A and B are shown apart, each in its own frame.
Chain A
Amino acid sequence: MVTDIQNVPAVPALTRKDFVPTCEVRWCPGCGDYAILSSLQRTFPELGVPRENFAIISGIGCSSRFPFYMDTYGFHTIHGRAPSVATGVKVANPDLSVWVITGDGDGLSIGGNHLLHLLRRNLNINVLLFNNRIYGLTKGQYSPTSPVGTKTKTSPTGSVENPLNPVLFALGAEATFVARTVDNNPKHMVETFKAAHEHQGISFVEIFQNCVIFNDSTWESIYGKENREDQMLFLEAGKPLLFGKDKSKGIRLNGLTPEIVDAATAAPGEILIHQPDHPSPLYSQLLATMGPEFPTPMGVIRKIEKPTYESLVAAQTDATVAKKGTGTWQELLQGDSTWTVA
């Protein structure tokens, strides 16, 4: 679409401050949520969306307090059910930029079903899932993403549950945009949030988030200073999968099995090129399921284009109006068949 710059109404540019409300933020000091909040407050002014068109919808949990800390329209709903409220908001008013804020418990345990269906329907909604692998608000019980053996007050001898991989879950639901970022890298968070916003369709972003009180340093083995270069694989579309100090290592495929190779000695074309838009979900699933000896993929893992749910709903309405005209009182009340008693 060509925009006539002359005719664009002058909208005062928004700044981060426009999104900071007067109320006090009440997360624990040192919580990873602060960095996510600040990154989103930095992202929103850059999206070209009028402030009144943002709606932030959350469920219950530490992360779900988020709407109160953003000076936009916000709805703090009930545990696990934010996806359904967000669906209603978006279909009712597709002009809104709708953001669902959820956590590993809210989104994947009590609300797993709603999240599944939100993802598969492909509404143009952005879902930020704060994954701290613990229940924070209820004071430290294991969550559906806690590793086997996690010791908590409800699993004093260690959790026996197989943890859920949020990215794999989203890919399984065939979400059209799936990404991952970390709470200690504001620049990467802003980039990822912007990409999520730009994507027309459902955008699912898993954020590795630290719970300083109940699960401190849970992601340290991945994103700690000592480990991050070897343990994180920053993805860029069209670029080879390289990681490690000075990008010295790469990932290639041996059959359907990924292998780590020395980037310097790899043959040309041997190292996999990142293709988030590959039509088959297999490549993204392979990235999401690489074992512990591999680095964790960060950034946009999958991004494909499909029509959004709300646009299909609107198109059906338009088609019906085109065929039948706008409904009248007579049509509503009389229906197909009447009789008259004189």
Chain B
Amino acid sequence: MTQPTHAFHEMKSVVVRFAGDSGDGMQIVGERFTDTSVTVPNSIATFPDFPAEIRAPVGTIGGVSAFQVHFGSNQVLTPGDEPDALVAMNPAALAVHLCDLAKGGLLVVNSAAFTEENLKMAGFATNPLDDPSLSEKYTLISLDITGLALESLKDTTLTNREKLRCKNFFALGFMYWVYSRPIEPTIDYINSKWAKKMPGLADANIRVLKAGYFLGETSETTRNRYMVARADVAPGVYRKISGNEATALGLIAASKRSGRDLFFAGYPITPATSVMETLNNYKHFGVKTLQVEDEIAAIGVAIGGSYAGKLGCTATSGPGMCLKGEFIGLAITTELPLVIVNVQRGGPSTGLPTKTEQSDLFQALYGRHGESPLPVVAANSPSDCFMAAFEAARIAIQYSTPVILLTDGYLANGSEPWLIPDESTLPDISRPFADESQPYVAFKRDPETLARTQAIPGQVGLEHRIGGIEKNEKGAISYDPENHSIMTGLRAAKVAGIAKSLPPLEVNGARKGKVLVIGWGGTYGAITSAVNSLHAEGFEVSCTHLRHLNPLPSDLGELIKGFDKILVPELNNGQLSLIIRANYLVDTISMNKIMGRPFKVSEIREHILKLITA
């Protein structure tokens, strides 16, 4: 074996994108690369990008599936703007993703897939690999990945079809070599997954993985090898977590801290489904997870659970939110605790179901008939979905109200290392039901929070009726005009009063200055990275990221007054921007992107720079 003689290029952070046909196993490869990198440890963020079709015709543009992973020795808050390396398993993947590859970036292609038929499907008139400009612009490594994978399996009994399915691990092995990652974690993974059930397949995948790795080591294919040093991350115990997993765990943690069993009902919808799938594995935590007939039933069942004294919860995406609207109104007027998770996706209608957007803010705030305010909470990052879900449940129980938690497809599917919190840092959020020794007054309120106290079926002597018709304090139906005005006011005041329970806003940068960037939700990583990079270059700019969209934090108005310019970047057409304008009478500057994709750090940087230097 030749000793590797290549020098390492030391990099602070690297973005690798694996792209191929949706049947090529790119998501698996991306996941493995991530899991390996977190153990280095590197700081990491991922972005799976897959088509809405489960299996679009093989080789077509519509069938391209990709997984981007950004790993670094410095702080990594986004999956990265443009890949430093692109693995393209077929011409369609090259056609879709080459435009994003950084100039001079590493381009690894599976030359075997560049057949006449595949080229045609990808819209290439000629083979781009034959074009010398490709290797001028990029560091091109053209490998017969299919052939090499088959060759390494020639003495196995697998069918040709099975052998071909292993080729993604060849690409993975090669990239492990390029970025000097250990291959052992992947071998362990393959063994734990397949060794028992399908030992032949496990062995084949390991062989192909090693073949890919050794190809790099023994061949002169590339002189470029990169090293990303360990990240200087906070000490502690970590796990990798995706946004939807974190949402599920946050809800269960809230259930434990509130003493109310989690009662979840849902209907499958992209990209929210994995919240329900995750919760199904936690039956022994007292979690009941019901898959029901539709989106309306899902919230109805959850409300039934809340009414019976559990922590009712449902999760969906935009179209499902539309269907749930009437029930949300019922939960508002009956003042029952409920957490409604909206994992936002591109809309309207079916829109871009597998892509991300932040365009449901108005819907969350206003998407119901009648005067029907409710608290809205948003998550910032995949792991932050945990605390955001916990916070949503805290408000729901303490204020006896439905709460909307906004996450998005980017957070839901993306994953990152999570410094596991000590459970003792999670506050007690329990709230007792009505006292059986006292006469029950259904809408008597806590003087501090204005929350009513629930009496639940089974409690002796507290029998009462609730429902959608306006009630008076005693819980009796009332058509009295004064009463309707009073009850509407009380419901609104209760929600507004939640602001008193919120911590002061965190500001990255000075509390006064020229430019303040206000963000919410999944843009946190991009905005923070942009601002941090400008700080590093000596520029003055501040940013704050809103956890609470309703009520808005009580110190936001004061903070805004301290700045000349307010920039609001959003993956919508300016929804928070309009809300800030309306609430604080300030001439905000909207920065919008509606492409089903997250912001690039560079896009936000450039916009801020323009404002600073203007």
Contacts and interface: CB of A to CB of B under 8 A. Distances in A.
Nearest to A80: B296
A117 B282 CA distance: 25
Given A84-B296, A84-B304, A340 B423 contact: no
A54 B465 CA distance: 12
B463 A73 contact: yes
Contact of B236 (A83, A91, A324, A340): A340
B307 A85 contact: yes
A335 B239 contact: yes
A81 interface: yes
Given A75-B307, A333-B421, A334-B239, A327 B463 contact: no
A71 B463 contact: yes
Given A75-B467, A92-B288, A92-B310, A84 B297 contact: yes
B285 A337 contact: no
Interface stretch (A1-9, A217-225, A256-264, A315-323): A315-323
Interface in B16-40: 35, 38-39
- The interface centre, meaning the residue of B237, B263, B293, B477 with most chain A CB atoms within 10 A of its CB, is B293
Given A75-B466, A78-B327, A333-B421, A87 B284 contact: no
B301 A84 contact: yes
A338 B421 CA distance: 13
A43 interface: no
B601 interface: no
Nearest to A120: B293
B233 A93 contact: no
B468 interface: yes
Interface string A26-59: 0000000000000000000000001111110100
Interface in B472-515: 476-477
B457 interface: yes
B283 interface: yes
B294 interface: yes
B300 A85 contact: yes
B82 to A, nearest CB: 29
Interface in B33-58: 35, 38-39, 41
B461 interface: yes
B402 to A, nearest CB: 14
B235 A81 contact: no
Given A71-B463, A340-B238, A92 B468 contact: no
A157 interface: no
A52 B455 CA distance: 11
A292 interface: no
Contact of A96 (B300, B310, B457): B457
Contacts of B423: 329, 333
Nearest to B466: A75
B235 A341 contact: yes
Contacts of B39: 339
Contacts of B465: 21, 67-68, 73-76
A230 B128 CA distance: 86
Nearest to B238: A339
B9 interface: no
A326 B283 CA distance: 9
A28 B91 CA distance: 73
Contacts of B237: 334, 338-340
B249 A88 contact: no
A333 B469 CA distance: 42
A21 B252 CA distance: 39
A267 interface: no
B281 to A, nearest CB: 9
A13 interface: no
B292 A92 contact: no
B464 interface: yes
A317 B310 CA distance: 16
B330 interface: yes
Nearest to B460: A52
A342 interface: yes
A76 B466 contact: yes
A327 B285 contact: yes
Contacts of A329: 256, 423
Contact of B327 (A81, A323, A333): A81
Contacts of A337: 35, 239-240
Interface in B433-471: 456-469
B290 interface: yes
B302 interface: yes
Contacts of B261: 92
A81 B265 CA distance: 14
Nearest to B420: A333
Interface string B248-268: 010011001000010101000
Contact of B304 (A71, A88, A313, A340): A88
B312 interface: yes
B195 interface: no
A324 B293 contact: no
Contact of A78 (B265, B330, B421, B466): B330
B305 interface: yes
A92 B284 contact: no
Contact of A53 (B312, B457, B464): B457
17 contacts: A55-B457, A73-B464, A78-B326, A81-B327, A84-B265, A84-B301, A85-B300, A85-B303, A87-B301, A91-B288, A91-B305, A96-B308, A320-B283, A325-B284, A327-B286, A339-B38, A339-B238
